[in-house]
Chains A and B, each alone.
Chain A
């Protein structure tokens, strides 16, 4: 077999292999590729907090005000510049826009 023919045979395999790999990788990491942050959520929608990312100081502050994974909330106001307003645990809470992009949510349809 010559180099040229090897390449002709190998490339479709390579393509399928890459496609397959990509597919499985995406499936495995689907939740991370498709996750939505509080900053991107629409007004008047309900949701639950799925994940929070940040340093221990941020986590401590956000947790002590009541936004923990599993908490149900309603997004009251999001104009993409002022702090986001949510209603959670009987309280209206303001979270600055930048840090609200570190709070990932599951929106209720």
Chain B
């Protein structure tokens, strides 16, 4: 009785697919990878009226070509015929362009429903769309919709149910004439497609009709050419090759593209009024895209965004930092009253309570970074941001869009790692990840500045400038080392991108979406952090409170010869290792080891509470060692959450290990150099 129906969401980037997907599936969604690929797969389900519907959110692509892994994955899924209904989402405020996906779908024999999304934006821009006329013309169900407006969902469900009950495919026969004929090029296109269809004979390929195959052959689609090559007899293959090599055949991609847009234009002209004359490219856009002003403007917006991010993270931080002392003293009193072993009290306080509190802090940062940047993207500013920095980033081998995750790394590295998803290819994402680890998040900046001012007092600002210079230098280095392999020259395509119109963000919906994914991150992070915290605790626990009895002390002393090679005494080296967990842990370790506070270290130590730490350090550590430690801290592994999210985004342990190894080498190498320079200077 309750069978499962599968719905596939197809559409161009920025068409609102993920909004629809998230609203339909809520928490019942799984994000993983398409089997054997590095493309993200989002799958979820919902129940309506007794029936369970499985929803697949296909990757955003402009059409059904095979130019990128995303498009190949989308095509394969459509061709597999697994979906009971394909919902094609188009941006109603940019119909003339977004209907291209529909035009590329003609010739695929699968039940469809066309969803004209973002009707609210179109209406606000003064565009009137006659949905019924479009429905009549196409012969398939068409719905005017706005995925962000929950009141419109009942209509969606109604239409969806009827579309599944009486499935309708796009009729390529009746559409064909309009599609390929008309206009100067029309006759040429019609002729050449007919000839290819004739040569194909009775060739069939699943749900793909001959007209679609012919179009793809003309477009030099590698996958279809391969399939046809394998399946057709020699004679017919040669005939097709001859057609494709002819003068008209060689312009094939242009002929089909032109034909599809002609068809789309006709539909739009007949059923929609054009956009009312509005400032398409107004004053703000001129500033935002200016090659100099645009960068300053972007900088301003980013500063505001990071401040907004801090404000948003404040409650979470307050809870995390605030709860800890309260809970810890509670546990201690209760434990003592109940006669629980001190070991257990220590474990509960430092691992369970401390670990949970720091996870709450870190996760609230991740939430606010992702939220702020999703809002910027929704408003439409991100495209302008990408445009303004395109020339800088292409020198590193990245596309303009990469500026987004790179800049958000200043707020929180782990959140920025999640943001690398916006990049088109896996190679770019990996390169962005490598660069991202060099960008210090707020915590790292705080620690580095603390160290610089403790040891070098008024020269600290110099270090700030030097740090920035070193970061850019590391970008250049990383780009040279990894660039050739990750983003080979032939894949480095120049920017071809739309700048979507600005529109109001749907705050609540984005907050809900980001909240859901952050909750998932929190759960995974908690597990990981508790495990590592337990490890640290075991190494640093001493029953009598004497730090010299801890495993950490013993191991540290033993490895001191090695650590001194890099110019750091074992206490500093261990603090450096602790910094891989979190910068707060690094401070906590230093506090224990240098202040001899007598108790096992705490994972959550605020920089502000470290004035005496500063004095203790300044009196104990020599300047060359300080320099070494400073350099090592600058390029240290960001934090345990960054490692976790990097593993998730990179999809392979090998890459996580590579990036970690690279930064370990870089930080220790710089420490070595710093120490010896320090010896010379001081």
Contacts and interface: CB of A to CB of B under 8 A. Distances in A.
Contact of A79 (B275, B291, B500): B291
B94 A96 contact: no
B295 to A, nearest CB: 11
A96 B97 contact: no
Interface residues of B, number: 44
Contacts of A96: 390, 494-496
Interface string B253-269: 11011100110010000
Given A90-B95, A90-B96, A59 B254 contact: yes
Contacts of A79: 291
B281 A64 contact: no
B254 A63 contact: yes
Nearest to B220: A56
B499 A92 contact: yes
A57 to B, nearest CB: 6
B489 to A, nearest CB: 13
Interface in B489-522: 493-501
A60 B387 contact: no
Given A56-B220, A64-B63, A90 B275 contact: yes
Nearest to A59: B253
A64 B257 contact: yes
A94 B497 contact: yes
- Is the contact region of chain A dominated by helix, strand, or loop, or is it mixed? mixed
A98 B390 CA distance: 13
A89 B94 CA distance: 8
B464 interface: no
Interface string A41-56: 0000000000010001
A71 B254 CA distance: 12
A66 to B, nearest CB: 5
Contact of B280 (A60, A83, A87, A97): A87
B420 interface: no
A41 to B, nearest CB: 16
Nearest to B95: A90
Contacts of B291: 79, 81-82
A90 B497 contact: no
B629 interface: no
Contacts of A99: 494, 496
Contact of B496 (A61, A69, A82): A61
B261 A65 contact: no
B663 interface: no
Most buried by B among A90, A93, A98: A90
A96 B494 CA distance: 5
B425 to A, nearest CB: 13
Contacts of A87: 280-281
A61 B274 CA distance: 25
A85 B289 contact: yes
Contacts of A20: none
B610 interface: no
A95 interface: yes
A70 B187 CA distance: 15
A52 B95 CA distance: 23
A36 interface: no
Contacts of A68: 254, 257-258, 261
A82 B390 contact: yes
B390 A61 contact: no
B511 to A, nearest CB: 28
Contacts of B95: 90
Contacts of B219: 56, 59-60
B96 A83 contact: no
A25 B74 CA distance: 49
Contact of A63 (B257, B495, B497): B257
B592 interface: no
A64 B60 CA distance: 13
Given A65-B97, A87-B280, A82 B289 contact: yes
Nearest to B103: A64
Contacts of B418: none
Nearest to A87: B280
Contact of B494 (A60, A77, A83, A90): A83
Contacts of B253: 56, 59-60, 63
Given A66-B100, A69-B185, A90-B275, A60 B261 contact: no
Interface string B237-264: 0000000000000000110111001100
Contacts of B388: 82
Contact of A95 (B62, B96, B495): B495
Contact of B498 (A52, A69, A93): A93
Contact of A76 (B265, B275, B281, B496): B281
A94 B387 contact: yes
A5 interface: no
Contacts of A69: 185, 254, 258
A91 B94 contact: yes
Contacts of B256: 63
Contact of B254 (A52, A66, A81): A52
B478 to A, nearest CB: 23
B457 interface: no
11 contacts: A60-B257, A64-B62, A69-B254, A70-B183, A90-B97, A91-B96, A92-B280, A92-B499, A93-B497, A94-B499, A98-B494
Sort A-B residue pairs by CB-CB distance and give the 9 closest, nearest first.
A96-B494, A63-B257, A56-B220, A89-B96, A64-B62, A59-B253, A92-B499, A68-B258, A66-B97
